[in-house]
Amino acid sequence: MAASDGPSRPPPTADKRDGERIPILGELRGEVMVFQPMAVTEISPRGAQVETAFPLQLDSLHQFRLALGDLSIVVKGRVVHCSISDVDQETVRYRAGIEFVEASNRISSAIEGFIDAVKAGRTTSL
């Protein structure tokens, strides 16, 4: 094979693992973080109220991706309350209060800037 033919690949039977895997004989639990859509109904520099199609567990920590105009941020938040907000024949909606935790100065400034822009847009349209 010539050098220009691209990188060589190991045969399909070769083990690609960097380390040994061991079978778990007992029980090992884990969780997966999955971004799901939500509606932010209220926001402040310290937290937000969101609506989701699924309940959020009290005191659980989550990463929230927020689209603040042209800027997208990810902020860690703790669920302080969650309850059913709407029920119809096919769906249930949940409303949850989120307290932002460990937000960096950059994240806090981005949220405050977004809030200021929303307020300014409301006063100029009156």
What is the rounded CA–CA span in Å between residue 113 and residue 74? 15
Residue-wise pLDDT for 94-119, tens only, equals 999 999 999 999 999 999 999 999 99
pLDDT at residue 48 tops 60 = yes
Rg (CA), the chain: 23
pLDDT band at residue 11 using 50, 70 and 90 as cut-offs: low
pLDDT band at residue 8 using 50, 70 and 90 as cut-offs: low
Q: What is the DSSP string of the chain?
A: --GGG------TTS---SS-----SS------------EEEEEETTEEEEEESS---TT-EEEEEEEETTEEEEEEEEEEEEEEEEE-SS-EEEEEEEEE-S--HHHHHHHHHHHHHHHHHHHHT-
Q: Where are the domains of the chain?
A: 37-124
The pLDDT of residue 101: 97
- CATH fold for the domain made of 37-124: Thrombin, subunit H (2.40.10)
The identity of residue 87, as a single letter, is: V
In which residue are the tokens 């709407």 written?
Answer: 86
Report which of 71, 50, 44, 72 is spatially closest to residue 62, judged by C-alpha positions.
50
The pLDDT of residue 54: 93
Q: How many CA atoms lie within 13 A of 78 on its CB side?
A: 7
